[in-house]
Amino acid sequence: MSAGKRTDEHGYGRTGLNGTMEMPIYLDHNATTPVDRNVLEKMLPYFCEVYGNAASIDHIHGNKAKQAVDEARQAIAKVLGCRKESEIVFTSGATESINLALIGAFRRFKDKGNHIISSAIEHPAVLDTLNYLQSEGAEITRLPVDRNGVVDLEVLEKSIKKDTILISVMFANNEIGTIQPIKEIGALAKSKGIIFHTDAAQAVGHEKINVYDLNIDLLSFSAHKFYGPKGIGGLFVRSYSPLIKLSPISFGGGHEKGMRSGTLNVPGIVGMAEALSLSIKEMSYENNRLRKAAGVICQRLQQTFPDIKLNGHPQNRLAHNLSLTIPGVEAKALIHRLKNRLSFSTGSACSTIKVEPSHVLKAIGLADDETFQTVRLGLGRTTQGAAGIADILIDGVNHVRK
């Protein structure tokens, strides 16, 4: 960093590109996180020094790259509780992982049935993929959720048919932070011989996950949600009790045990493993810190504006997520008003260009006008001064409500 620039304790810059204007406080960590500088340093050698293709194992350059990939795969598999490191398939991110899991499982097992169960509050990567699978003959059941965004296990069980082959329910919601009863859903699926996939993009690196203890068969994740690089992610594919096999959806080399062809992103893979390792080490401390910070922000806002509503489960939620409905305040207007002080969003980053009400907020019972009065605050390692953040929001709400 050049003289005069301020950084936080993680080395993240707090000034603009010209080195003079202070940047707004970043509160959109559910959308993406900054790359940890330790992660970046770990990645750098794999761009210009260890630059071999990990599939070119007949020479030293390729072998060094393969060794780095093998070590990263082993580290990630250990964190997630895998039985074998080969159960981790590297992809470009959670969206690709979800496509591979859902399309690959449907095509592989459609001779046993065509019914898939999911929830009404899934990420668009799941919902759009399921919509596509309907064109291939899939029958889709989208389960409702309660006012806290939780799937009812009894409703789920009653939705199972003899031709149900797959259940896909997200681990934690990207908009409202609600954590689902994953272990119970997985146990139900296992008892019926049904494959269970979970989109864990918001949970990996933030919640303790052991795929075997939680009865998960397929799990999707992205590095950029836990301070790793963008463009890299993974899919856990269970290999034991039962052995899960997927039909590939991309072709051209048979990489990743034939499930995902393409030259491996060695720097990204190395960075993802390092980011996950660091996140796990800091997880307990960060979750406690951010849960307190979120509580301070929410409490101060509700003390000033008692009609503000917290969305999502009050306890079983991501520590760093706050979804708040602020009656009488257009969310976009508040975001625009505070754009030089805070960076936050209305909800999913994948839906920001749409003008339709959030499907997640509608599913938990919000009226159309309430969905447009809802903001999402995604706290993270860079978040300091919760009381000050609350004061900025209070000031913004007061101006927008006039």
Closest alpha carbon to 222 in 230, 213, 211: 230
Helices (H), 17-152: 37-43, 45-48, 60-80, 94-109, 124-134
Closest alpha carbon to 54 in 39, 64, 45, 42: 64
Give catalytic residues, as residue numbers: 350
What is the enclosing helix (H) or strand (E) of 363?
A: helix 359-363
Residue pair 400/334 in contact (Cβ under 8 Å)? The answer is yes
Size of the chain in residues: 402
- Going 274 to 277 to 281 to 282, the CA torsion angle's sign is positive
- As a dihedral over the C-alpha atoms of residue 56, residue 61, residue 63, residue 64, rounded to 10 degrees, the angle is -140
User: How many whole angstroms separate alpha carbon 130 and alpha carbon 114?
Assistant: 12
